[in-house]
Structure 1
Amino acid sequence: MLVIHTADIHIGVENYSRPDPESRTSSRLQDFLTSFDELVDYAITEKADLVLVCGDAYKSRNPTQTHQREFVKRISKLAQKGIQVFLLAGNHDSPNVPGPATTLDIFSTLEIENVHVASELKTEVIKTPNGNIQIISLPWIRKGDFMSLLEYTQLSNENLNKAIEEKLIADLNKEIGNLDSSLPSILASHVSVDLAKTSSEKSMTLGKDYILPTKSLANKKLDYVALGHVHRHQVLNDDPPVVYSGSLERIDFGEEKDSKGFCAITISTGIGDRNRIESYKFVEVKARRFKTISIVIEDEDEYPNDKILSEIEKHEIKNAIVQVIVEVHASRYREIS
């Protein structure tokens, strides 16, 4: 069984963009769609059984009609090929308060064949051409859902995070305990995990959100743990693999040096198999390059503009998004135009 794992597609991110005359949309929208197309084409060519989208399909919880059309077009293309598509709600997909729909609920409402949506902690058995697989979904959980409950209202932020973590771990362990050991199983989650590193090399423990320990997810009753939320691809545990696929496109210059792509996992569906992961690889996509050029204007540089242009020419910047950082004494900044 071939499983494709991706997350944080973020259709709608349009920073550093310009109008695209052909599509009449932004150039950055086209970047994100092109990278997504690489995944779709790979899944179809390689005859994938299942595509996991582990949260944040869109940038906004209120995507435009164009953003919805382009995302649905690609999900439908996969589903029409008989590929099962599992869509997990992330923080960008979910409303701030309970009640309103997530950006993904339309798929369930329309009952689109081969598309599964998860916006709560549950286990679902999905039938694929190469056998059944169990998926435990742990979507983004809003802190507001807990803060509205009487038992949590008086807690400090630190203690609230601790209470949420304990509750989620307990509920998750119940789901894991009810798994059918004869079937392969995946945990799909959009969450912060303690061992994760962001693209700026900062530990996830520096944030204000609840953070789950990696060890709480790395249960050996699971064959693979597919994570979303952190944009940097990383493997946090080997047995079972606990993996952030990372995003398909660079969001900003903090991700300049990150490789972008998706994960392809081959899983055995044999009843007696203990270690079902047959192969795992990260498939890199041709994401738009980001390039930072740093230039220092020294006192002896007579013509700052000429030096800046000369330094830029030393770099390959074609088709890249470039930022130029110039360090110059305050007394000379007016010489730069």
Structure 2
Amino acid sequence: MKFLHLADLHLGVENYGRVDPATGLHTRFLDYLDRLDDALAFGLAEQVDLVLIAGDIYKTRAPNPTHQREFARRINRVRSAGVPVFILTGNHDISPALGKAHSVAIFDALGVEGVTIADRLALHVIPTASGPLQIMAIPWVTRHMLMTREEMRNASFVQIDYELRRRLERFVIETAAKLDPALPAIIAFHGSLDGAEVGAERAMTLGQDLVLPRSVMAQPGVAYVALGHIHKHQALAQDPPMVYPGSLERVDFGEYADPKGCVLVTIEGKQARWQFHQLPARPFVSIQHDVRTSSDPMGLIQTLIARHDLREAVVRLNLQATREQVPLLREDVLRTMLSDAGAFVIAAITIDVERTGRRRIAGLEQELVGSLTPRRALELYLKSKQPPLDPARIAALLAAADELMAGEQ
């Protein structure tokens, strides 16, 4: 039996891009769709018996109709090939409000044959071309499930977390004891296991993580643990394998060095082996350098740019420079250099100015008033904030400003 394991599709992430005039869709949305297409094409070529998506289909809990349409088209493609689909709900899929539908509930409402939506703790037996597969589903769970219960009415958050973790662990242990030993079985879990290396998903998380111990997943009869939620591909154990495939595309520069892809899982008897399949995610390139000692900073920057492959890449440039060099480092020229090198999007150009003497932003404005652009003024303002802002936050704000200013041109 073979199945394709993916997670964290995050359709709707639209940073570092622009609207594609040919389709009317955002280029980053197209990136995410392309990676999903690549993963599904790989799975179908491998003749998988099942496609398992371990949560976070969309970026938001209320995706727009275009995002829903494009995802539905991909599901239809898989079902047309006769392959069943199993979708676990993640924290980006479910609404915290009681009674509101989650983002993939429409498949259940329409009764789409061969598509299973796992939005609650349950054991599913999925028929496949190679026989039935038992899937113990552990979707993202919310604390309001307990907070609305009378016995937890006055409980603290610590008590609620303890009780929620206890009930999840009990579900895994009790359900594992009921597994049919004649059939292969796996666990599908959207959440954090202890020891997992986190990344950009921490900043994107909707709701607070509840971390479960790996030991509770290592139940007799379980051949594989299909994980979702953590964007960095990693395997936390091998008996049974506990694998995060990671997200299909890079969300931001925190993931610039991470390979992106999906996992092909093969189960033979009670054992599972897996293979990570890397996908051609859009490259993110960060160029950082100190040019303060250079007599020709622009020439040095041109050499630095030439050392990187910027074709179709999202690029950011961060320089350390002296005040005297600032008038030479014209942003429009730097942007042209990066564009000529093939950059897909210039996420940010930041220049960290060597500070001596006065630290007030007003002082810098007076001394550099002849060379300050609106973007440079914003950059200086953000870097003068106390307490200091995180560099990644500054880069994100500057990137947003770049998009706004580009739209006005």
Q: With structure 2 as the length reference, what TM-score do the two structures score?
A: 0.76
What residue identity is the alignment partner of 1:295? H
CA distance in structure 2 between the partners assigned to 1:22 and 1:219 by the alignment: 51
Instruction: Show CA shifts across 1:253-272 (max 9, x none).
Output: 1111111111101112xxxx
Query: How many Å separate the matches in 2 of 1:301 and 1:24?
Result: 44
Higher helix share: 2
Q: Which of 315, 319, 325 pairs up with 1:326?
A: 319
Residues 110-259 of structure 1: pairs in structure 2 closer than 5 A: 110-199=110-199, 208-259=208-259
2:367 match: none
Aligned mate of 1:276, from 271, 276, 288: 271
Q: Deviations over 1:290-319 (max 9, x none)?
A: 111112121x32343333233112211001
Question: What is the rounded CA distance, in whole Å, between the counterparts of 1:55 and 1:329 in structure 2?
Answer: 48
Q: Which runs of 5+ in 1 are unaligned?
A: none
Cα distance in structure 2, aligned partners of 1:310 and 1:243: 41
Give the secondary structure class of the aligned counterpart of 1:4.
strand
Output the amino acid matched with 1:226: A
Q: Residues of 2 paired with 1:111 and 1:314: CA distance?
A: 54
Looking at both structures, which has the greater relative contact order when contacts are Cα pairs under 8 Å and sequence separation is at least 6? 1
| Paired residues of 2:176 and 2:220 also in contact (CA < 8 A) | no
Which segments of structure 1 move beyond 6 Å, counting only runs of 4 or more? none
1:241 & 1:171 partners in 2: Cα distance? Answer: 20
How far apart are 1:45 and its partner, in Å? Answer: 1.5
C-alpha displacement of 1:111: 1.1
CA contact under 8 A between 1:15 and 1:28: conserved in structure 2? yes
CA RMSD of aligned residues (A): 1.9
2:211 alignment partner, SS class: coil
Structure 1 counterpart of 2:35: 35
Please tell me whether the aligned partners of residues 86 and 117 of structure 2 are also in contact (alpha carbons under 8 angstroms): yes
300-309 or 230-239, which deviates more:
300-309
CA gap of 1:200–1:34, structure 2 versus 1, over 3 A, is closer
**Structure 1 residue 201, shift from structure 2 partner:** 12
Aligned to 1:290: 284
**1:179-238 deviation per Cα after TM superposition (whole angstroms, max 9, x unaligned):** 111110111110111110023799xxxx95221011111223211100000001111110
**Compared CA separation, residues 331 and 242, structure 1 to 2 (3 A):** same
In structure 2, runs of 5+ residues without a counterpart are: 331-409
- Which residue identity lines up with residue 18 of structure 1 in the other structure? R
For 2:16, the equivalent position in structure 1 comes to 16
Deviations, residues 112-165 of structure 1 (Å, cap 9, x unaligned) = 111110100001111101101101110000122223334334444334322221
| Count of residue pairs the alignment pairs up | 326
CA distance in 2, matches of 1:291, 1:42: 27
Aligned CA distance change for structure 1 residues 153 and 311 (closer, same or farther; 3 Å): farther
- Of 33-42 and 215-224, deviating more is 215-224
Q: Is the contact between residue 294 and residue 326 of structure 1 (CA under 8 Å) also seen in structure 2? A: yes
Secondary structure of the corresponding residue to residue 39 of structure 1 = helix
When residues 153 and 253 of structure 1 are mapped into structure 2, their CA distance, relative to the original with a 3 A threshold, is farther
Q: Aligned partners of 1:143 and 1:309: how far apart in 2?
A: 53
Amino acid at match of 1:244: Y
Partners of 2:119 and 2:277 lie apart in 1 by: 27
Q: Which amino acid aligns with 2:318?
A: I
Map of 2:401 onto structure 1: none
Aligned to 1:305: 298
AA aligned to 1:71 is: F
In structure 1, C-alpha distance between the alignment counterparts of 2:248 and 2:220, rounded to whole Å: 28
The separation in 2 between residues aligned to 1:161 and 1:330, in whole angstroms, is: 52
One-letter identity of the residue aligned with 2:95: P
Deviates more, 1:224-233 or 1:43-52: 43-52
